[in-house]
Amino acid sequence: MIRNSADVETYIYHSYMEAKDYLEGPEGYDLPDIQKRSPDLLTPLFLDALKDYHPLNIVVTGSKGKGSVSYMLASIFSQLGFTVGLFTSPHILNYRERIRIGKDPISVDDFCRICEEIRPKIHQVEEKIQKGREYISPIGISAYLALTYFREKNTRINIFECGKGAATDDVNRIPHEYAVINMIFREHLRELGPAFSDIASNKAAVITKDCKAVYTAVQDPEALRIINEYAAKQGKQIPILCDIPAEARLNSKGLYFSVDGETKRYADLFIPMLGEYQAQNASLAIRCAEGICSREPGFPSLTEETIRTSFRDLSIPGRCSLYHDQKVDKICTYLLDACINAYSAEEVITTLKALEAEDRHADISFVICIPEDKDDRGVIAAISQYLLQHPDNNERSRIQEKRPLIYLTDTANPHYRFSESQLQRAIQSGAIPDELKDRALYQKGSLNAVMSASKGSSIVCILGTTSLISEVYPYLRALSENQSIKV
């Protein structure tokens, strides 16, 4: 019996939990997703949910920025007057954030009621699988719940964000007319494959026989070759490549940029988000929306005013978000970003440099929380190089008795693996150079690490996995809003 949101979340994970010992044990942990996921199990249920219901579906994949592009597309189409279903993952504070109509998460009542309704159909599928090794993925169950909800609300457009890849993602089994591929790089090597070509091929699988068009960010040549080859095999036209934004400038209020569309320029746009990469995400979203509006009968033209309005109040926690603690004599600024690879770290450094232009004497420290199977050393190496080139920080920190500059930490999420040995491996590999090895430490508990870092810094940069964002975001938001804080 489903009584509350916690019951729904327990049910969403129940099939996975029955196979957890195998999936996370020595036999299954290192297997790629293609050998342990069964994304086709719920395809009949997806197709059944779409009977006599004909929304325009968009599926978004890539290595970074999938969520941002999905939110941007939802905001644009909502501003155009459409009822838009939005499915993203992961969530920050509660699971219902993953399923939205426009900006509004599904209500508790609808969340519980629909879960209760779909359970018998899920059970019928479960009766046919090998328990303990085969499972219905939490993403698949969530996506089916979302699609059922969107059908009830008679949405005109649905936007679905894939998880790690596309080939083994249940979401990709939802028939979709448009595919979006954000930038691809090396990540999720254990799940998607050890080679870059494996990762690109997995994500290129978002191009299905139902697709009318494919929109891709500017890609590495090998990734673009694989995408084009995959599209050709599906009998589709060459994907539409979205240009890098014509210009972008950043300050502490947000990002100003211009985008060259298919037929016109959208000039001096503003989005209240940091990170120059958000201009690239916006460019991809704009070109996709522009193309859909021009292709689909009865759709209005996309105007500059629509874009301006849809971006004006857009905010996504954990995407280069700024928070300010003004309760203390010395104001401390926190930069929070879901960064788990070296490429993302370089983007964060670009943002930091823009902030430094406004506060050239900032004392900066870093809290890094990245699981062992992600690119923790790549991020640490990028941050270390930044610190070595930051003379103001180094000189002032010498006065402050060699305060730590790098805090490695963990989260309470049982599905991620953290350990103190990550610090030693970073030192041994050179990711933390000799000059900084005495300025780095491992501190258990993400909030403990954040509070320790803030004692000697005017800027604390917090980077890591989404479970870090979930733990730290409520604390930072309370600081910014001058609320009482329970830790």
Average pLDDT for 375-387 = 95
Average pLDDT for 339-355 = 87
Structure confidence by residue, pLDDT tens digits, 264-301: 889 999 998 888 889 999 999 999 999 999 999 999 99
Residues of the chain with CATH 3.40.1190.10: 5-312
* pLDDT score for 309: 96
> Could you say which DSSP state residue 1 is in?
-
State the fold for domain 5-312: UDP-N-acetylmuramoyl-L-alanine:D-glutamate ligase (3.40.1190)
* Contact of 439 with 404, CB cutoff 8 Å: yes
Rounded distance, CA 478 to CA 266, Å?
A: 36
Instruction: Give CATH for domain 321-480.
Output: 3.90.190.20
* pLDDT score for 397: 47
β-pairing verdict for 240-241 and 213-216 = parallel
3-state secondary structure of 473: helix
Over 70: is that where the pLDDT of 328 sits? no
Rounded distance, CA 432 to CA 442, Å?
A: 13
Structure confidence by residue, pLDDT tens digits, 387-402: 998 755 555 444 445 7
Rounded distance, CA 184 to CA 129, Å?
A: 33
pLDDT band, residue 161 (cuts 50/70/90): very high
DSSP letters of 83-103?
-EEEE-S--SS-GGGGEEETT
Residues of the chain with CATH 3.90.190.20: 321-480
Over 70: is that where the pLDDT of 166 sits? yes
